[in-house]
Amino acid sequence: MVRIVQISDTHLGRDEARFAGNWPPLAAWIAAEAPDLVIHSGDLSGDGAGVDDDFAYCAELTEALPAPLLAVPGNHDVGDPFSTRQPPTAERLSRWNARFGTDRWSRDVEDWRLIGFDSMILSSGLPEEEAQFAWLEAEMHGADGRRIAWFCHQPLFIRGWEEGDTGYWTVRTGPRARLKALADAYGLALVGSGHVHLSHEMRLGGTRFVWCPSSAFTVGPGMQPPLGGEKWLGAVRYDFAGREVRTERVRLPQLRQHWIDDVAAAETGAPSQGSQPARDVHAPTQVGKPDG
């Protein structure tokens, strides 16, 4: 049996004191789990896309973990292709890769192939996007009968493969269709993601989709439309044995549950919108102001 814990959306930085207090209890929980591997599904840093020292700080913390770390970057780490202020660039990707290995990786455990990829370069038009698709197909083609699990920052969708664009919250429809073609061709048993700061699991066809909660903060209804899932802080435990996997989303009450709405309001002096519902609560395309 191989135990893996997934953590996500830690949003850590040397100048980001707000969420730093949740790292020691999270690290203590990880140590108690004694995992063989830790997977971080992105937004490791508060602003690594802008401040390289955030990566240095995150590396200091994660190197002290009692297990190897495999991470995929989030929008706070390498940028967002739909952000004019902070899109992914070759420079941002190379800074991430210099600190944390690569933004894509593959590991075989038990009868599984775990594949981490960088969802933040999808729709970017960077040459790395096509290189990653080619690599992903080769990794799936070469899985040699192993079951396949993907890990990436953004959920591929909220409710199903065929839904329209959900804006900020998920992979866009164009790259999603290409990912679905790979899933259909080679099989896909599990997808673990982060980004939405929600805890959720669902099954569609033969695939299990797990949303790993953040260990830093949750997002109130004024800034995030209803996407499903539960708003609490924690992590996910995966026990892989043979061709099976047992997943458990673990709520960690020892983490202080910040609400980003309150944090943003405190910074601007504006009243918090955290308790107010989003204007259009039924349309995932009508996204609130994002900070996932």
Q: Does 18 bind Fe ion (CB under 5 A)?
A: no
Amino acid of residue 173:
T
Q: CB 12 → Fe ion: shortest distance, Å?
A: 11
State yes or no: residue 139 binds Fe ion (CB under 5 A): no
| 40 makes contact with Fe ion (CB under 5 A) | no
Give the residue from 40, 119, 26, 38 showing the smallest Cα distance to 80.
119
If the CB atoms of residues 18 and 147 are measured against Fe ion, the closer one turns out to be 18
Length, in residues, of the chain: 292
Contact 104, 132 (CB under 8 A): yes
Closer Cβ to Fe ion, 83 or 89, answer by number: 83
C-alpha–C-alpha distance, residues 128 and 84, integer Å: 19
Count the site residues for Fe ion by CB under 5 A: 6
What is the three-class DSSP state of 195? coil
Segment near Fe ion (CB under 5 A), from 73-81, 98-106, 117-125, 267-275?
Answer: 73-81
Closest separation in Å from C-beta 291 to Fe ion: 7
Among 96, 108, 112, CA closest to 56: 96
Least CB distance to Fe ion at residue 110 (A): 29
Shortest distance, CB of residue 11 to Fe ion, whole angstroms?
A: 6
The C-alpha atoms of residue 89 and residue 81 are separated, in whole angstroms, by: 9
> Which among 72-80, 89-97, 200-208, 247-255 is the span making contact with Fe ion, rule CB under 5 A?
72-80
β-strand pairing of 2-7 with 234-241: antiparallel
113 or 195, CB closer to Fe ion? 195
Rounded CA-CA distance 90/190 in Å is 29
| Residue 118 token pair | 């960088």
Minimum CB distance to Fe ion smaller for 74 or for 175: 74
The yes or no reply on residue 75 touching Fe ion (CB under 5 A) is yes
231 touching Fe ion, by CB under 5 A: no
Residue 199 contacts Fe ion per CB under 5 A: no
Tell which one of 48, 74, 87, 234 touches Fe ion (CB under 5 A): 74
Token digits for 139? 């990794």
Told to check if 195 binds Fe ion by CB under 5 A, we report: yes
To the nearest whole angstrom, how small is the minimum distance from the Cβ of residue 153 to Fe ion?
6
The two beta strands, 217-218 and 234-241, are: unpaired
Q: Can you tell me the distance from the alpha carbon of 99 to that of 184, in angstroms, rounded to the nearest whole number?
A: 34
Residues in touch with Fe ion (CB under 5 A): 9, 43, 74-75, 195, 292
